[in-house]
Amino acid sequence: MMSLLLHKEEHQDQLFEPISWLLEQYKEDTDVFHVTKSLSQLLEVLGEYKIPLPKGKFQAICSALHNQICSQAKPLSVENHVELVYCIVLLARSSPEDLIAFLHLQLKTENEAVRVASLNLLRAIVGADLPETRDKKCLIVKAVKSTLSDQNAMVRKAVLHFIRRLLSSESVENCAAWDMVEHVFRSSVCPPANWIFRKKALSKPCALTSCNVWTPQSVE
């Protein structure tokens, strides 16, 4: 009965009405965990009854949640961060392609915190292993691969964390994950042009300590 009622447009509008008000609370409250919790409960109901969010509402929620995670103006509590990420995962159930496209766009910004947060959210989506996103891993990998030339240390670390999570998930064989792994290993080795050979050190072909090596251990 509840499912039949909620699939009627007039009842859906009643569910959508609080969204704008909730998002506005992020601009006013110092402790916004209760706002995020209310939003996650609303998203759970929409997901349970397979009610799609209007595109405008979907984009507004994505932007608000992402801004909360990336904002350096307010300290983010652990419980609120966990709930924010959970909301993102719920959005991935609702419209995975739109969410991936949104996060892919954020990876192109100049702000380091935004790029790192977006990579971490893509990692969370892969880690959730949702039925709705399993066949979207190629799109997720494509988004992350766009950052492989990024020289920022925090971005590189986030990429490594993403690869680790991706390789521990199922069905990675068809999503070009190994191309990223190859890139990481190639980047972790000094190119021959930078090797320093000296007559006094013939027994040491490459002075690796003089090179800027990016290794998986750096993520620890």
For 67-118, write each residue's pLDDT tens digit: 999 987 778 899 999 999 999 999 999 999 999 999 999 999 999 999 999 9
| Cα gap 210→10, rounded to integer Å | 68
pLDDT the model gives residue 50: 86
What is the pLDDT confidence band of residue 15, given thresholds at 50, 70 and 90?
A: confident
pLDDT the model gives residue 73: 76
Alpha-carbon span 119 to 126, nearest angstrom: 11
Most confidently modeled range among 12-16, 35-39, 173-177: 35-39
Matching residue, tokens 């620890």: 220
Mean pLDDT, the chain, whole residue set = 80
Where residue 180 falls (left for φ over 0; alpha for ψ -120 to 50; beta otherwise) is alpha
Per-residue confidence (pLDDT) for residue 208, from 0 to 100: 35
Question: What is the model's pLDDT at position 8?
Answer: 60
Q: Answer left, alpha or beta for residue 176, where phi above 0 means left and psi between -120 and 50 means alpha.
A: left
Give the Cα separation of 173 and 32 in Å (integer): 40
23 in helix, strand or coil? helix
More confident residue, 117 or 173: 117
- The residues, ordered by sequence, that sit 6+ positions from 175 with a Cβ below 8 Å of its Cβ are 137, 138, 140, 141, 166
Counting Cβ atoms within 10 Å, is residue 55 exposed (0-12), middle (13-18) or buried (19+)? exposed
* CA–CA dist 214, 152 (Å, integer): 11
pLDDT greater than 70 at residue 4: no
Give me the numbers of helices (H) and strands (E) for the chain, helices first please: 10, 0
Residue from 100, 19, 2 nearest 54 by CA:
19
pLDDT of residue 153: 93
DSSP-derived 3-state class of residue 129: coil
For 6-31, what is the mean pLDDT?
78
- How many residues belong to the chain? 220
Query: Per the structure block, which two tokens stand in for 18?
Result: 């609080």
